[in-house]
Structure 1
Amino acid sequence: MQEERKGTTIPRAMGRRTFVRLSAGALATLTAACGDDANPTGGGTDTGTGGSGGASGTASTGVGSTTGMGSGTGTSGTTGGTTGSGDGGSGTTTGGTTGGASCEPDAVEVTFDPDAVPEDETVYPLAVMAGEMKPTSVMLTTIIDEPGTKRLKIWRPSETAGNVVMVVDADVEPDADGYVKVTVDGLCPGTWYRYGFFSGDPDAPTARSTLGEFRTALDDEDLEPLTVALSACTFTGGPWPALQVMSDEYYDMVLQLGDQIYNDDVFDGPATLQDFRNNWRLQLSHPDYKKFYSRAGLYATWDDHEVTDNGKFNRETTDPVDIQKRDNALDAFFEIMPIDSGRPNVRLWRSFRWGKTAEIIVLDCRYERKPSQGIYISPEQMAFLKDRLLNSPCHFKVVMNSVPITNMPLLWDVAEGDRWEGYPAQRDELRDFINQNDIRNVWWVSGDFHVCFVAKLEPDGNDRWSNQYEIACTAGNENPAGWTLFGSQFDYGVGTYRGCIVTFDPLSDAVHVRFIDPDGGGDDYNKALTQL
């Protein structure tokens, strides 16, 4: 079977990792030690705290390397029992051994055609999502609108036609509201997997969800190009042509930069938990999101509209009604998103290392703000950010920054208080830290403004900070003020939605940025950038 993507034909038997290395001319780095990346100061970390699903009641289960699954809570997802294991049929064991350690110890080659199983959108109405990708683990989420045990299957291609290498084949049990959040361990680094949820006989399923794909993070020693798709500002209900055009491209992951949904109207009403859940169901049942998220795993931050517009909600409010509405919105976010955090111990900021290529640093630029004290991000988050920028061993430091940090043109200063520029002490602190420590190859990616641009952080200056680039995107909403994004500071700027594909290539010390016009499918901007 082959998968068609724009500009490529990727043979399944080859595998995407191999394909990308060959097509990019990258060094075939095949070392893949299987230790989980769990050191908060050594890269590859998920420093989020709080149990998966938090207070919202999401079913959190774990799949260990034995493919056993059982109910459990907490962040590790490895406390499941050994019930419900199965191999989907008899076959040849194919667990990998690399770098002196084994991964996929229970993998087995079986005859199985997942695409031949009918998709049932009544039972499985929403997108399937993968997140928290680490070298040997992933988190998977969806909603199942039918009580009872279902089957999670994870596999990769086989060289034998009609066969797959089944890596996980285990029971999952949705919670009372249909939510499933599963952490899977025992995977191999830098590897593409397919997955789905199935109904019926485990060996002969009769229905399935949308089939998804994800790639595990690279091993710590790997160095190869990494391609990401950027998304932000998708108004509720769709369609989103930018998501459509990106879904036909190759990307290793999605970086979801906030305003993934617009809950403003929900917040204006009773704003119960169920009200927010219903809006998420509308958003994630749309074919554009189902396809976009099925193509790769994602890392996500939020902006304001996951709760409501920033002008409608005081971050420092003591109003119990508004606080309850906010908490309902946050619970609805964490129970559906593949993020290992939740109330009451919300900590969205964390980082993920992909080999020596890039560290993806996820910030929370909304819900730690204290405007009365001039605090944009908490002191703890600032210390974390400085640590990762200074001590990351990766070539690129990619900062997921939901609201732009760029020194914007004068017209934009009417809303200066809603971004980094409105908190000058912390912005200057970060600028001075980067300059004093001569930190190179920090790349900022952002959303919020309903524009797409490529800009240097300052209109002039020859220091490290001023010559860093920010790449901003919108995949949905538009802004007529996009016409102001011109001049030497802005290499590109439009006020309309675009697909955005970015490749971080450490081998050429360059970042290749493409903005794709969904109307014609051609590139509106296509350029390789380097920092001074």
Structure 2
Amino acid sequence: MRSPDPSAGLGSPNRRSFLALTGVSSAAFVLGTGHPAAADHDPPAPADPFTLGVASGDPLPDGVVLWTRLAPEPLAADGHGGMPRRSYTVHYEVAEDERFRRVVTRGPALATPELAHSVHAEVRGLRPGREYFYRFRVGGEISPVGRTRTAPAYDAMPGELRFATASCQAWYHGHFTAYEHLAQQDLDMVIFLGDYIYEYAINATNLWRQGVPLPAAEHNAEIHTLEQYRLRYALFKLDPNLQAAHAAAPWMITTDDHEVQNNHADEWSETGIPPEDFLRRRAVAYRAWYENLPLRATSLPKGPDLALYRRLRWGRLAELNVLDNRQHRDPYPAGLVIDNSPERLDERRSILGHRQEEWLYDGFRRTEATWNMMATGVVMTQIDRDTGAGELYSNDQWDGFPANQDRLFAALQRHRVPNPLVLSGDIHRQVAAELKADWRDPGSATIGTELVTGSITSDGDGAETDSYGPLWLSNPHVKLYNARRGYVSCRLTPTELTSEFKNLPYVTRPGAPVGTLARFVTEAGRPGLNREV
């Protein structure tokens, strides 16, 4: 078993420094984060540099991180977005009103070519639990306006937290209409659960998004270089509905597999790429991920390693544990994604790695929150895929790590963690399930709730059900299964959680309406799902 330490092995031949792997200096990382900086003799900025929009994320009681990326030609094949290979000073403003009559803070950040001219301004000094508006300026060019919100004070008990969960946005499989509807809700936060991009070649065989031309030839290849990953983010982020969702509320983001490669596990590649080569690919993939999303400097990758798991407090109402279920997981049992190998039951196996497990359980021990959430890229609920007398599991989900699952559930019960709530995605289906103390006994105690968001577009229009429906629903703790596209909208209060599964009848063409497939209420102190709609 390898070391689970997120920073372990960085000095080994397979985990060289970030400079050696990707050719960027550590000094360049300091730039673009909102630290005082200036470019020498800034030249005039290219026209229309804010084509990829604006975003905010990782809210604290006194601040947020603000993001943009300068890209006047976002689909330039070299991945630099049409920007000259020099640095530019970008100025940000934060105001209490959308017209910026009450500006509360402003400052500079440096957009460098090393980080694809991205900006991650970590703004502090704001008031807790407040709505703010922000924008950027470079030269005479001004960005669109974004709306964000700070977290409540740590000792406050806010009346509610409104958030939505989303995942799996294959641009080529459909329009991001779900984000158009999500952006119109008055949300405090969006929690994104992985698969922000997909690494596959885009061509006539998988371009189901009607009304758009086939992308240029450089998109017709599985991506593995920094330039290709940057170009793929630019293609996805050009969608106006995705930009609107980013501009409407701060995001908390984790990854799953497609940000690097399908079904990868730490340094293991399902296509047999040697570990040293796959780590190089992971390094550039994580670098592009950081460049294109509203993340703090604490999420700067070090070579192929990314400090991803983190914790957000929403006063005393909620605590959100953002988990990393790819970098530190053990390989698939017998190298198989679907299998019931005895290796699966090895007590030492972990999907989180032991250091992340300790961090999570220590958080359980210390929590003072009414609701305790875990954001994980893959489904935690146990799903037996054999509808007969046997058992069969997906090792890509938490089912591939039952010992880790048992340790987590034991920690929840040992520390009497109030109101556990798991938020997951990955499967392109909408699922609501109850977490059971004993999966084999439907009458055993319900210790938590899991809400699985459907995909934004991945797998196209979908259907009300599919061939997997009877399989999932044969597990009695599964209370909802639907194969349409959509997201989950939630409202947390000190007394209850209301979760609404929003879905769309189609995504391959634009303009789909949104409907509420199901509404559940979970009462504080009484885990489980009570269906209202």
- Does TM-score exceed 0.5, indicating one fold? yes
Q: For residue 207 of structure 1, what is the aligned residue in structure 2?
A: 141
Q: Identity rate of aligned residues, in percent?
A: 22
Q: Tell me by how many angstroms 1:59 deviates.
A: 11
Contact 2:429-2:485 within 8 A present in 1 as well: yes
Q: 1:59 to 1:169 in 2, by over 3 A?
A: farther
- Structure 1: give runs of 5+ residues left out of the alignment: 1-46, 62-70, 85-119, 201-205
Name which of 172, 181, 196 aligns with 1:245.
181
C-alpha separation in 1, matches of 2:267 and 2:23:
27
Match of 1:496 in 2: 484
In structure 2, what is the equivalent of residue 365 of structure 1? 325
Q: Aligned equivalents of 2:265 and 2:407: distance in 1?
A: 29
1:327, distance to aligned residue in structure 2 (A): 1.5
Partners of 2:47 and 2:144 lie apart in 1 by 8
What is the match of residue 99 of structure 1?
none
Distance 1:346 1:408 in 2: 30
Which one-letter code corresponds to 1:406 in the other structure?
T
Is the CA contact 1:215–1:296 (under 8 Å) kept in the aligned structure 2? Answer: yes
The answer to whether the 8 Å contact 1:230/1:501 transfers is: yes
Question: 1:132-147 alignment to 2 at 5 Å?
Answer: 132-145=58-71
Three-state SS of the structure 1 residue aligned to 2:148 is strand
Asked whether 1:342 is paired with 2:305, we answer: no
After TM superposition, the structure 1 = structure 2 runs for residues 478-489 of structure 1, keeping only pairs within 5 Å, are 478=459, 480-481=466-467, 483-484=469-470, 485-486=472-473, 488-489=476-477
Are the aligned partners of 1:401 and 1:446 in contact in 2 as well (CA < 8 Å)? yes
SS of the residue corresponding to residue 222 of structure 1 reads coil
Aligned match of 1:91: none
Q: Which residue of 1 aligns with 2:376?
A: 401
| 1:471 has 2:451 as partner | yes
Give the Å deviation of 1:492. 2.0
Distance, in Å, in 2 between the alignment partners of 1:211 and 1:315 is 41
Secondary structure at the counterpart of residue 491 of structure 2: strand
Aligned to 1:448: 426
Aligned to 1:173: 110
* In 2: Cα distance, 1:211 partner to 1:408 partner: 44
CA, structure 1 residues 415+304, in 2 after alignment: closer, same or farther (shift >3 Å)? farther
Q: 1:439 to 1:150 in 2, by over 3 A?
A: closer
Aligned residue type for 1:350: R
In structure 2, give the amino acid aligned to 1:137.
G
Contact 1:135 1:187 in 2 (8 A): yes
Superimposed CA distance per residue, residues 376-424 of structure 1 (whole angstroms, 9 cap, x where no aligned partner): 1111100111111221111111100110110124259755211111111
Q: Distance in 2 between matches of 1:163 and 1:307?
A: 39
Residue type of the alignment partner of 1:355: G
User: Are 1:153 and 2:139 matched, yes or no?
Assistant: no
Residue equivalent to 1:282? 235
Offset, 1:472:
0.3
Q: Deviations over 1:346-401 (max 9, x none)?
A: 22111011100111100001111122662211111001111112211111111001
Q: Which residue of 2 aligns with 1:21?
A: none
Q: What are the within-5 Å matches in structure 2 for residues 52-71 of structure 1?
A: none
Separation of aligned partners in 1, 2:169 and 2:100: 38
Cα contact 1:141–1:338 (8 A) shared by 2: yes
**Structure 1 counterpart of 2:232, which letter?**
N
CA contact 1:192–1:213 (8 Å) conserved in 2: yes
| 1:80 and 2:36 aligned | yes
Q: How does 1:177-192 map onto structure 2 within 5 Å?
A: 177-192=116-131
1:123 alignment counterpart? 49
Q: TM-score by structure 2 length?
A: 0.73
Q: Partners in 2 of 1:522 and 1:136 — Cα distance?
A: 36
Q: How far apart are 1:184 and its partner, in Å? A: 0.9
Task: Please tell me whether residue 233 in structure 1 is matched to residue 168 in structure 2.
Answer: yes
Deviation at 1:315, TM superposition (A): 2.5
Q: 1:438 to 1:330 in 2, by over 3 A?
A: same
Structure 1 residue 156: deviation in Å? 1.0
2:26, 2:427 → 1: CA distance?
35
**Partner Cα separation in structure 2 for residue 468 and residue 126 of structure 1:** 38
The letter of the residue matching 1:404 is V
| Alignment partner of 1:332 is 2:319 | no
The answer to whether the Cα contact below 8 Å between 1:267 and 1:308 also exists between their aligned partners in 2 is no
SS of the residue 2:243 aligns to: helix
Q: Given the alignment of the two structures, is residue 517 of structure 1 paired with residue 503 of structure 2, yes or no?
A: yes
Task: Say if 1:342 and 1:267 are closer, same or farther in 2 by CA, change over 3 A.
Answer: farther
Question: How far 1:325 sits from its partner (Å)?
Answer: 1.5
Asked if residue 323 in structure 1 is aligned to residue 260 in structure 2, the reply is no
Within the candidate set 116, 119, 136, 1:197 is matched to: 136
**In the TM superposition, what whole-angstrom CA distance separates every residue of 1:298-339 from its partner, at most 9, and x where no partner exists?**
111000000111169963775332221121111111222222
**Contact kept in structure 2, 1:138 and 1:184, CA below 8 Å:** yes
Unaligned runs of 5+ in 2: 1-5, 11-17, 41-45, 72-82, 202-218, 334-347, 505-511, 528-533
* Cα distance in 2 between the residues matched to 1:490 and 1:523: 18
Instruction: Give me the whole-angstrom Cα distance separating, in 2, the residues matched to 1:209 and 1:58.
Output: 27
Checking the alignment, whether the CA contact within 8 Å between 1:353 and 1:359 is kept in structure 2 is yes
Residues 1:457 and 2:435 aligned together = yes
How many residue pairs get aligned? The number is: 427
SS at match of 2:395: helix
Question: What is the distance in 2 between the residues matched to 1:48 and 1:214?
Answer: 32
Residues 1:57 and 1:299: Cα distance change in structure 2 (over 3 Å): farther
- SS of 2:96's partner is strand
User: Aligned equivalents of 2:196 and 2:229: distance in 1?
Assistant: 13
Question: Equivalent of 1:296, from 249, 252, 260?
Answer: 249
Question: Do 1:78 and 1:185's aligned partners in 2 also have CA atoms closer than 8 Å?
Answer: no
- RMSD value, Cα: 3.3
For residues 100 and 409 of structure 2, what CA distance do their matches in structure 1 show?
A: 54
Q: Please give the secondary structure, in 1, of the residue aligned with 2:433.
A: strand
Partner letter of residue 427 of structure 2? Answer: F
* One-letter amino acid of the counterpart of residue 244, structure 2: K
Q: Which moved more, 1:191-200 or 1:130-139?
A: 191-200
Query: Residue 364 of structure 2 contacts residue 411 of structure 2 at CA under 8 Å; is this kept in 1?
Result: no
Q: CA deviation digits over 1:259-283, x for unaligned, max 9? A: 1111133896462101100000111
